[in-house]
Structure 1
Amino acid sequence: MSEPRKAWSQVEISDPRFESEHLRHLTFHSDALGRRGDVSVFVPPGGDLLSGLPLVLLLHGVFGSHWSWAYKGGAHQVAMAMIEAGTLRPLMIAMPSDGL
């Protein structure tokens, strides 16, 4: 029986010391896709990538990229304001690059 194929073989995650507005950036090589992928992730205060928080996936439109929802729409700022106001429970938002 062969080993199961891993979804990715290399992952580079932004250093939390240099992140702003709770945005984390990941770059990885996907063995399944045979190429690199990029994802921006909003992680609220007190959360981490393994915290078990609900995950919302936002897909950008044509000619967009993993940063589009954050830097053209402020999705992470809206989520943070709603979490602080108590109208949205803490969650993570993943915004992948195209082709993922």
Structure 2
Amino acid sequence: MKRNLELIAYNEETETLAKFAKALGHPTRIAILKRLANQCSCFTGDLVNEFPLAQSTISQHLKELKNAGLIQGELKPPKIKYCINQKNWEHAKTLFQQFFH
């Protein structure tokens, strides 16, 4: 019985892992993260030029990634410059490694 309780017990790390997993649940968001991981930053317009999607769609994906804490944005009027949130990126990698171990 104790084992079953351990399986369903949620903790902060479980919630964080689920948040990261949800953000990674779309191929475009994975592609955006790969792009950002290979360079220090980029603007929304750069991604719009690279992906065959509307600006509003790219912005929604960026919002999801930012809300999950995987990326961060810096306002450079009239644009926003995005980059990987290195602290959370490392934390996400650790949580996924522990999960799949």
| TM-score in terms of structure 1 length | 0.27
- Name the larger-Rg structure: 2
TM-score (norm 2): 0.27
Select the structure that is richer in strand. Answer: 1
Structure with greater proportional helix content: 2
